[in-house]
Amino acid sequence: MRTARGVAALLAVGVLAAFSLAADGSGPQDRPAEAGAAETAGAETSAADGPAGGAGAAAATPSGPPAPTPAWDGRVRVLGDGSTSDTGPQPGPLKPEKLKPGEKPPQFVVFSWDGALEGDDHLFSRFRRLGAENNARMTFFLSGIYTLPKAKRTLYHPPRHDPGTASIDFATDGHIKDTLEQLRLAWQEGNEIGTHFNGHFCNAKGGKDWTTEEWRSELDQAVSFVTHWKTNTGLKNLPPLPFDYTKELVGGRAPCLEGQQALLPAEKAVGFRYDASSPGEFQVWPGKKEGLWNFPLQLLPYPGRSTQGLSMDFNFLAGQSGNTSEGDPRKYAAWEKETRDSYLSGFERVYNGSRAPFFIGNHFETWNGGIYMQAVEDVMRSVCRRDGVRCVSFREVADWLDAQDPKVLDKLRRLDPGQPGDWSRPTR
């Protein structure tokens, strides 16, 4: 199933904005709002985009429990209609440790995926396996309607739009089944399942125009679709997801990176710990907004250019092939190299500098012959096993930040991206 659609129309809104930021190699030099324009225009083109949220579930007994995870003693508590379950602690998360005085921080790297659909290209399964091979745990921002059959689409009531409508495609029954399998395996391997909400509405009547109450409705529906997929799909013989989504869900990314101001109170009200919806900020140590950790996309240097752009695949597409997801094949190799080199330049800047966490955003898409998927794979293979590097989920970064002395974090935030701290101790 092809997930990108309407690229030409959507890219008309600030297509080159992410590539217009003047900068030298030392750090970002322009306004976050300009950097976010290309993602704002393009996020709507990806059906691998969308969110998932949380709500209650009706009691029922599923046909069979999932296989127990290594950290569990075999007992499984089935929840609601059998769509989800409590199988005990998740395997593998990083144990947060408080920095000792003068200790160099770990270099955190977060690979995140908007939408999290297992489509015909099998990119979810490809990168899930790649992460396991390279000791990388990731965050998958699930679109809630990717667990809702098209035949039941009118169950979705998007804010300011007709019931059953969305700016992304509803998944086929086969893709829903495959996505559920990948979600189960991803969680059992230590990855995080976050939310990208539902209908991926942008621009007029989209997330930037929604009130906090409308965002809360969108979030509650996203959770409900995930916690009631058995009822909605009729796939009663599949095992439940091995986690309680109402507890698992602690963060999300808004479609098109829009509406964070009204969204944050809705997320805080349901116990979120972070938000990843802010576009185009410097590569600096995170702070909080409205009591939630703010994990933005970041401005990266482009080797050979005096510009910077967002750390997301769509923004490379926007600056390279403009208004099409299938540009000139003769340029694919050069575009792939430019994308890979930009990611690695951003990584090296903080790895050898402030050690600020490095965030990369992606979509499961084969734009421009799949060059962005290959670039991300190359980066993951290059960085995740380096000394001091921890490729982790956003949840794990939040855990680590919460364990630190606030005074130490304040000092780290004052560092420029390429500025090393006064480390006297190596990373543990």
Sequence length of the chain is 428
pLDDT of residue 243 exceeding 80, the answer is: yes
In a domain, 421, yes or no: no
pLDDT of residue 48 exceeding 60, the answer is: no
In a domain, 270, yes or no: yes
In a domain, 41, yes or no: yes
Q: What is the dihedral of CA 293, 299, 303, 307, to 10 degrees?
A: -170
Q: Which two tokens stand for residue 39?
A: 């993602």
Tens-digit pLDDT profile for residues 352-389: 999 999 999 999 999 999 999 999 999 999 999 999 99
Please state the rounded mean pLDDT for residues 6-10: 34
CA distances from 299 to 20, 310, 345 (A): 11, 5, 11
Beta strand extents in 178-224 (DSSP E only) = 192-195
In a domain, 70, yes or no: no
* Residues facing 301 on adjacent strands: 308
Please state the rounded mean pLDDT for residues 49-54: 34
CATH number assigned to the domain comprising residue 47: 3.20.20.370
In a domain, 423, yes or no: no
What's the angle, vertex CA 91, arms to CA 88 and CA 94, rounded to 5? 120
Q: Which two tokens stand for residue 22?
A: 């003047």
In a domain, 139, yes or no: yes
The domain tally of the chain equals 1
pLDDT grade for 303, boundaries at 50, 70 and 90? confident
C-alpha 31/C-alpha 280 separation (Å) is 8
Nearest C-alpha neighbor of 195 from the set 156, 221, 164:
221
User: Which DSSP helix (H) or strand (E) runs through 322?
Assistant: none
Q: State residue 74's pLDDT score.
A: 58
Beta strand extents in 116-246 (DSSP E only) = 139-142, 192-195
Tens-digit pLDDT profile for residues 127-149: 999 999 999 999 999 999 999 99
CA distances from 217 to 122, 159, 207, 233, 259 (A): 31, 8, 12, 21, 14
pLDDT of residue 18 exceeding 70, the answer is: no
Residue 388 lies in domain: 7-61+76-89+103-413
In a domain, 292, yes or no: yes
In a domain, 428, yes or no: no
DSSP helix/strand/coil, 66 = coil
Instruction: Identify the residue with better confidence: 3 or 305.
Output: 305
